Chains A and B, each alone.
Chain A
Amino acid sequence: MFPFLTILVLLPLAGAALVRALPDGARGRVREVALGVTLLEALIGLVMLTQFDLGDAGTQQFTETYEWIPQIGTSWALGVNGFGLSMIVLALILTPLVILAEWRKDKKDPARTARYLALILVLQAFMVAIFAARDVFLFYVIFEAMLIPLYFLIGGFGGEQRRYAAVKFLLYSLAGGLIMLVAVVALYFVGPGGEQAYLIDNLAGYDFGTTPERLMFLAFFLAFAIKAPMVPVHTWLPTVAETARPGTTALLVAVLDKIGTFGMITLGLVIFPEASQWAAPVIIVFAVISVIYGAIAAIGQTDMLRLVSFTSVSHFGIMVLGIYAFQQTSVEGAALYMFNHGLSTGALFLVVAFLIDRKGSPYVGDYGGLQKVVPVFAGTFLIVGLSALALPGLSPFVSEIMVLVGAFEVAKIAVIVSATGVILAALYVLLTYQKVFTGPTKKGLEKTRELTLRERLVLWPLIGLMLVLGFFPSLAIDYLREPAAAVLTTINAEVSE
């Protein structure tokens, strides 16, 4: 079997080394090199999509297993089912677009650009690896190790408060990760043990005993909730969003935060089915709180980057609701939402970034009446915004409906309350649009630049993808149906016992 996944991990690392090693003379071309690497990466991803056996989307494919540290039971074990593949594809789509979106930053400082791009490439390697990890220890190692490039991305590039934001981010994530570490260590002793003690396949369905299982589940869940981010452990996200570069934040929210919900499904539900059942009612309450709190907080924001980050808190609440409702449609919907939300939020952060590039201010109040000056920009902004409020025809709509309809049967009140979040979403999106683009044009904005070709190249593919998946959602759902069903089999087996 051709080691697609390992290559997918190693290629960006090699790219990062290349970017840093470019001689001064070639430094001017550093963006092209990085973009080329990510495009090549995306191409490999495309080949994998064609090679993927859709009829068997529920089982791990492209699997590779090598001994890594047998003494502590861990292996370099990679593989993806349809769900993991969808996340990797999301990462592969967004990374080149982010590089393209940040093309003009630090134009005069190629060394700094090289540092930034190298970090982005390292991050991409980690993103692929974590969604492909079939070993809990490996998952943990990447989960923690990827904090380092992120930390430097946040702390080294961005606004004035960036050092504070980076440290806040790191401490939150590290605290969650280290508590997870206790559970990871414990897994070795209460689990099957041996040289492949951490393979998820070996841990799935293992009987740890009720109390250890619940304690370990809580430790894992805390780390994932911080990552996701759920209320009340979300406060690092707005801080990071307002200070970091929008490109960094776009990757962070669109892809990296998905590690939280991804982990809830592939580790939480699979390894700890009984404890997941046990905790589900409380988790759903927190999910609903996240939905409403995130939406209300978003309405109150004047900083557009903070606003977008709060909408994500709200949307992650919906995903978590879908996961812990344990219905085929709701889990499928949550997995689909993870993909669509990546497209939608990625586009949202980037379009806001383009707006901020023009005026230099993230505050809604500094804008007004731009519709007349830059109609294409306004239209693009509107469509991207509408995708965030789940307008029918755009792909997030399908996934949100699937979650809400699927969960309705088992959690009626939660769904009804969450549905109001959708209405609130209309408020924060349309109010923002109204303030920024309609009304009389503000002084000094008359000469605002229209959406450039580069910016269109960044945003329109994302919009196109959302439209296609909005009208033909089965293109994506086919990849997710069987993984969701497989997860639910273990859960339901637990119920019937």
Chain B
Amino acid sequence: MFTAPDLSYMAFAPIIIVLLAGAIGVLVEAIVRDAATRRAAQLTLTLVATLGALIVAAVQWATTTEAGVVAQAGFFVMDKQALAWQCMLLVFAALGALLFAARTRAGEEAFTPLGSAAPGSPEEAEALRRKLEVTEVFPLLLFAVGGMMTFASTTDYLALFVALEVFSLPLYIMVALARRKRLLSEEGALKYFLLGAFSSAIYLFGVALLYGAAATTSYAGVLGAILASPGDLALFVPGAILVLVGILFKLGAVPFHTWSPDAYQAAPTPVTAFMAAATKAAAAAALVRIVFSSLYPLEWELSWMIWTVAIVTMVVGTVVALVQTDIKRMLAYSSVAHAGFILVAFAGFSPEALSAVPFYLLTYGLATIGAFAVITQVREKADDGTVGGEATRLGQWAGLGRRDPLLAGAMALFLLSFAGIPLTAGFIGKFQVFAAAIDGGGWPLVLVAVLASAAAAFFYVRLIVLMFLTDVPEDQQEAVEVDYHPYTRVVVWITVIATVFLGVMPVWALQAASDAGVLLTGL
């Protein structure tokens, strides 16, 4: 007989608010015809939804007991770990929405006027002439965030899969919507989609194996089954490995990273900003919960994989980033290297990782959004003075420190934070991650991480050299214009302040992270 599950709607208010707002956003698309009004309405709706959900989540954080709420028939939990990730994702989403809404001085937005039109077709030209706009990116953003938030709070392998698809599908679409270099954009989206589908299949296969062994798909159930049959892990180990592959794909770890440089470069830069920060956060959230509430008895069987992937990811990400000439690709590979640093925290499965990983992702995400926001402001200039697409070749950034010292200074700060220089947030993040690894006995891994950081500093610093220390003669200067939009600048300054603040006074954030370091297992 069917018994209705006990649903605690209040506990899940943040997710419900976001998804409901996404649904309303779709209706707004259908009803409001005027593009400018529609954009304003969508932006307002998105900001209200994300910030509202953020407030609700914060209140829940303040009022929640140590344990949090188990609900929806054991599929989800709202413990402090989940709430911490959700707050982080909502902040990223709100910042992302501001970037989505920003336009160039000439009033050009980052997205194509008509996603369904073939690149270069008469339909597209017509859409451009009629100044159409795809404002459905805002509901797509909300759906993606809703999926990610669910991803962070689920305690069931199948529910995780549903959440994975909920946040992935909007991302595939958004990647394809770049206004310029349409073919490249669609190619990147297609690659992302195909590889994403492939990794979903691998993940599902892993879940099937786990189900075959444990006869349940819940984290706790699998954990119990592993503990109950210590001698017979023949299905658990391959199942766990395949599940981890699926998550590592989203995290962008080598060798599952190949989508990320293409997708990062191809996507409209505001989407890249949001995707780079939020996808990685969601993937890390799921990884933390899976490892520490379900798979930790398999430490012996899994740690070789985590160590190998971590080392290869750090080395490949760093080395390949060294030779990039496109700034978006460079940051893409740097984000691959960061995936490796995140994995370092899992060496030895020290529970310190439960606090270290969220903090690391917060620092990384803020600097990433800030850095891509800066990229949207540096534009190519044609001979007749019209401002074109983003100037992403590294050479075009030479001398930016002269033209706009504040913007270039902000970029330099984000780069220093990526490099983990003290007094920036990135340093505290790295420190936490290394501490977790050393606590778990993983100091050789930390040594590799440290050497990779030193090498990575080289390409971050190279960009700083270009911006500040390279003298370019007037006549050889690349035609580059620094664009301006208040939304983008707001995002840049918020992330700058947060990066400095978390680097100098991380006390409260660390306290929150350590409060979040207790998992509720779900059953």
| With A145-B421, A171-B454, A174-B457 as contacts: A181 and B510 at CB distance below 8 Å | no
User: Does the CB pair A144–B421 fall under 8 Å?
Assistant: yes
What's the minimum C-beta distance from A141 to chain B, rounded to whole angstroms? 4
Of B11-19, B195-203, B308-316, B433-441, the stretch lying at the interface with chain A is B433-441
User: Does the CB pair B469–A185 fall under 8 Å?
Assistant: no
A141 to B439, CA, bound (A): 21
A72 to B470, CA, bound (A): 39
User: Does the CB pair A167–B438 fall under 8 Å?
Assistant: no
| With A71-B511, A155-B465, A167-B461 as contacts: A182 and B421 at CB distance below 8 Å | no
Of B138-146, B166-174, B294-302, B443-451, the stretch lying at the interface with chain A is B443-451
Q: At the interface, yes or no: A175 with Cβ under 8 Å from chain B?
A: yes
User: Does the CB pair B461–A178 fall under 8 Å?
Assistant: no
User: Does the CB pair B431–A179 fall under 8 Å?
Assistant: no
What's the minimum C-beta distance from A151 to chain B, rounded to whole angstroms? 8
| With A166-B469, A170-B461 as contacts: A140 and B422 at CB distance below 8 Å | yes
Q: Which of the residues B423, B446, B451, B506 comes within 8 Å of A185, measured between beta carbons?
A: B446
User: Does the CB pair A71–B514 fall under 8 Å?
Assistant: yes
Q: Which of the residues A72, A141, A156 comes within 8 Å of B423, measured between beta carbons?
A: A141
B464-523 contacts to A, CB under 8 A, are 465, 468-470, 506-507, 510-511, 514
Q: Which of the residues A147, A148, A166, A174 comes within 8 Å of B465, measured between beta carbons?
A: A166
Please, what's the 1-or-0 string for B107-119, where 1 marks a CB less than 8 Å from any CB in chain A? Answer: 0000000000000
Chain A residues with CB under 8 Å of B461's CB are 151, 167, 170
Chain B residues with CB under 8 Å of A354's CB are none
What's the minimum C-beta distance from A211 to chain B, rounded to whole angstroms? 12
B209-237 contacts to A, CB under 8 A, are none
A70-116 contacts to B, CB under 8 A, are 70-72
In the complex, the chain A residue whose C-beta lies closest to that of B350 is A189
Chain B residues with CB under 8 Å of A68's CB are 507
A71 to B465, CA, bound (A): 35
Q: Which of the residues B435, B451, B453 comes within 8 Å of A189, measured between beta carbons?
A: B435
Q: At the interface, yes or no: B416 with Cβ under 8 Å from chain A?
A: yes
A162 to B451, CA, bound (A): 24
A186 to B416, CA, bound (A): 23
User: Does the CB pair A148–B416 fall under 8 Å?
Assistant: yes
User: Does the CB pair B510–A69 fall under 8 Å?
Assistant: yes
A55 to B416, CA, bound (A): 45
Chain A residues with CB under 8 Å of B506's CB are 69
Q: Which of the residues A155, A166, A189 comes within 8 Å of B438, measured between beta carbons?
A: A189
Chain B residues with CB under 8 Å of A167's CB are 458, 461-462, 465
Please, what's the 1-or-0 string for A352-378, where 1 marks a CB less than 8 Å from any CB in chain B? Answer: 000000000000000000000000000
In the complex, the chain A residue whose C-beta lies closest to that of B352 is A189
What's the minimum C-beta distance from A31 to chain B, rounded to whole angstroms? 21
User: Does the CB pair A152–B468 fall under 8 Å?
Assistant: yes
Q: At the interface, yes or no: A306 with Cβ under 8 Å from chain B?
A: no
Chain A residues with CB under 8 Å of B432's CB are 72
Q: At the interface, yes or no: A188 with Cβ under 8 Å from chain B?
A: yes
What's the minimum C-beta distance from A251 to chain B, rounded to whole angstroms? 19
A108-148 contacts to B, CB under 8 A, are 140-142, 144-145, 147-148
Q: Which of the residues A147, A163, A178, A189 comes within 8 Å of B469, measured between beta carbons?
A: A163
Chain A residues with CB under 8 Å of B438's CB are 182, 185-186, 189
A166 to B511, CA, bound (A): 38
Interface centre among A144, A156, A181, A186 (most CB of B within 10 A): A181
Chain A residues with CB under 8 Å of B453's CB are 174, 178
Chain B residues with CB under 8 Å of A185's CB are 431, 434-435, 438, 446
User: Does the CB pair A182–B435 fall under 8 Å?
Assistant: no
Chain B residues with CB under 8 Å of A182's CB are 434, 438, 443, 446-447, 450
| With A69-B507, A170-B457, A178-B451 as contacts: A186 and B465 at CB distance below 8 Å | no
A144 to B434, CA, bound (A): 17
User: Does the CB pair B458–A171 fall under 8 Å?
Assistant: yes
Please, what's the 1-or-0 string for A185-221, where 1 marks a CB less than 8 Å from any CB in chain B? Answer: 1101100000000000000000000000000000000
Q: Which residues of B contact A (CB under 8 A)?
A: 416, 421-423, 427-428, 430-432, 434-435, 438-439, 443, 446-447, 450-451, 453-454, 457-458, 461-462, 465, 468-470, 506-507, 510-511, 514
Selected A-B contacts with CB under 8 Å, 28 pairs = A68-B507, A69-B510, A70-B507, A71-B514, A72-B428, A72-B432, A141-B422, A141-B423, A144-B422, A145-B421, A148-B416, A151-B461, A155-B465, A155-B468, A155-B469, A156-B469, A163-B465, A163-B470, A167-B458, A167-B465, A171-B454, A174-B457, A179-B450, A182-B447, A185-B438, A185-B446, A188-B435, A189-B439
What 7 pairs across the A-B complex have the smallest Cβ distances?
A: A141-B422, A178-B450, A71-B510, A175-B454, A144-B422, A155-B469, A145-B422
